[in-house]
Amino acid sequence: MPVHEATNFFPTPAQLASHLHVARALVVNSPLNPTGTVIAAGALAEIAALVVEENRRRDAAGRRPLFLVFDQVYWMLTFHGAAHVTPVGLVPGVAPYTILLDAISKSFCATGLRVGWP
């Protein structure tokens, strides 16, 4: 999906809407590497609301849910007043369908083999 500087290199809710009915997972990274841009809170809230809406339709039809995988590995590395937001913080109803990805290796320069934490 093409993205552009005008949207901080993120897809827009309008671009995603027509694809969600066939998707199994939607992956969103914020902040992005290497651009360092963060998704706008309004756009992320709209995307989260689209996921909730799609899952209502799927539930009614007895279909498996659509999951939102939110990769926030670089969330501690924001600059120039950029605000990091999460989909669950904006739209609590998306929580059952959200998988948050995080790590300590980027923010704390932790090298070597690591094991996940609960």
Q: Could you tell me the domains of the chain? A: 5-108 (3.40.640.10)
Separate counts of helices (H) and strands (E) for the chain: 4, 3
Q: Which residue shows structure tokens 């739209």?
A: 91
Provide the whole-model pTM: 0.85
The number of beta carbons lying within 10 Å of the beta carbon of residue 7 is 14
The rounded distance, in Å, linking the Cα atoms of 43 and 57 is: 21
User: Would you give per-residue pLDDT tens digits along the chain (118 residues)?
Assistant: 888 888 888 899 999 999 999 999 999 999 877 677 889 999 999 999 999 999 999 999 999 999 999 998 877 777 777 788 999 999 999 999 999 988 776 666 766 656 665 5
SS3 5: helix
Instruction: Report yes or no: 13 and 43 within 8 Å, Cβ to Cβ.
Output: yes
